[in-house]
Structure 1
Amino acid sequence: MRLAIVSDTHLPRGARRLPDEALARMRAADLVVHAGDLMRVEVLELLEALGPPVVAVFGNVDDAPVRARLPERVEVDLEGGVRLGVVHDAGPAKGRLARMRRAFPSCDAVVFGHSHIPLHQTSEDGAFQLFNPGSPTERRRQPRHTMGEAVVRGGAIAFAFLDLD
């Protein structure tokens, strides 16, 4: 099972749009995960029209129609018994991994956004992962626009970053 993971798309804004490579990766995925800050419901509808199912949460800049359609956090069962949590804001960096593990005790991993900073952390025991895909459209101080990908196989989930520039 292949997941395409994005966050912080912040659309529409000027001429900004999702990169073609991001759209192609999402179309080819078995599941699209969006960790919030879509901004408008039209962006959610665009993602849903790509084909694969979409799991998404609302973020801090999302308007009322997005908030009406999406939860603040969600947990989803993937193949092989893997459980994934999704939330927009995972809070301050200090203590984040332990805090998210406590907040999502039945999950093997949590995807989050908000910071626009790509991040992948694994707990010392290797049983829990935290992943932020960065942003495909608003890199802020990061060197590249990014998104994430995950492969679920054999009861495990493996994350990777994809540079879009």
Structure 2
Amino acid sequence: MRLAIISDTHMPKGDRALPPACVRLLGEADLILHAGDLVRAEVLYELRAYGELLAVHGNVDDAEVRRELPAERVVELPGGVRIAMTHDAGPSQGRLQRMRLRFPDADALVFGHSHIPLHETDPASGFQLFNPGSPTERRRAPRHTMGIARVEGGRVAFEHVVLDTRDDAPDPGSTA
């Protein structure tokens, strides 16, 4: 199973749009995960046009998005893989252990909020934290990013994809 993972799209805002490589990866995925801050319900509808979507709401999402999406959820995938989702996983200090305790039955947590790509694994338990960054609003991150993951044999493997947002740039969808 192939997952496409995004967060913090913050749309609509001006002429902001998902980069072509992001749209391609969303369409190729078996499941799309969005870790909040879509902002408006029309973004939900756009993402659902690309494929099956599971999402949580973020701190800047409007009332309609908040009504439709939970603040957190646990997604059960083939092979017994369980991925927890929330928007804000709190301060970086102690985050891995804090989230492991908060979601004890999950194999991983997908979150957003900071716009900074992160992939961290607890060596003792194998529990993973994954923040895809943002495909549209990088803030302090050096590049626009998203995530992809493969679920096979009861395990999940995450990776970041660097997105080029220039209209005239080639569409490599390179992994980082």
TM-score range, shorter chain: over 0.9
Pair 1:111 & 2:88 matched: no
1:9-48 equivalence runs, <5 A: 9-48=9-48
Distance apart, 1:126 and its partner CA: 4.6
Runs of 4+ in 1 over 6 A off after TM superposition: none
In structure 2, C-alpha distance between the alignment counterparts of 1:126 and 1:116, rounded to whole Å: 26
Alignment-derived partner of residue 8 in structure 1: 8
> How much does 1:143 deviate?
1.3
Aligned residue pairs, count: 164
Letter of the 2:114 counterpart: S
Correspondence for 1:79 = 78
> Equivalents in 2 of 1:53, 1:79: separation in Å?
15
Q: Aligned-pair distance for 1:49? A: 1.1
In structure 1, runs of 5+ residues without a counterpart are none
Q: Deviations over 1:71-129 (max 9, x none)?
A: 00000111111000000000000000011111111100000000000000000225200
Deviations 1:39-93 (A, max 9, x none): 000000100111x211100000000000000000000111111000000000000
Partner SS, residue 14 of structure 1? coil
**Aligned partner of residue 67 in structure 2, secondary structure:** helix
Q: Distance in 2 between matches of 1:131 and 1:57?
A: 15
Identity of aligned residues (%): 61
Aligned-pair CA distance for 1:141: 1.7
Matched to 1:32, the amino acid is I
1:115-160, CA deviations, whole angstroms, 9 ceiling, x for partnerless residues?
0000000002252000000000000121110000000001100000
Residue 130 in 1 paired to residue 149 in 2?
Answer: no
- 1:143 corresponds in structure 2 to 142
- For 1:5, what is the secondary structure of its paired residue? strand
TM-score by length of 2: 0.92
The residue correspondences of 1:51-66 to structure 2 (distance < 5 A) are 52-66=51-65
TM-score relative to the length of structure 1: 0.98
Corresponding position of 1:91:
90
